[in-house]
Amino acid sequence: MDKRLENFCRWVALCGLTLLLLLAVFIVGEIILRWLFDLPYEGVGDVTRVLLPIVISCCFPISLLQRQHVTIQFLGRILGDRWELSLNFFGGLLLALFFGLVAWQFTVYTLELQNVGEHTWVVQIPLAPWWWITTLVVWSCVPLQVLVAFSTLHRDLSHQALVQESGKGPYL
């Protein structure tokens, strides 16, 4: 994979983890205010509602790029190398389709939030701008996963050619 793409995905994950740290600071601060001064900050739930979807979605690109998703490989191994290669590629494309469907539903949900002007309860933070960030991150996963699927296919085909050239038997 291109190093710039990996750096970008790491940057997105770092942004998500930074938001998670900020959320943790809000929660700990609220606990300290409640414990020391009996003065709870009621907006912690609102901040959580705004930041948590972004935090979660920011972890998707790097996990896709590093292929850290669950795969079931027993069928390909039973059927042989050619089937394993094909099933891995097909699974990668299905994962891209899945992210496309999720992103589409996020878009529908975010448009609904925007149209009704949904806000958080206590602090009255508008939700749509924050959900647009989440939605854009999830949409970025679709072409990324397609790229990962083709990259994996290319890597596996290159490996196949090396095995065949080494004389250790046919890969397919």
pLDDT at residue 94, rounded to an integer: 96
Domain boundaries, the chain: 3-166
pLDDT at residue 172, rounded to an integer: 47
pLDDT at residue 161, rounded to an integer: 57
pLDDT means per 10 residues, the chain with 172 residues, are 90 98 95 91 92 97 90 74 84 96 98 97 96 98 96 80 59 48
Cβ contact 170:164 at 8 Å: yes
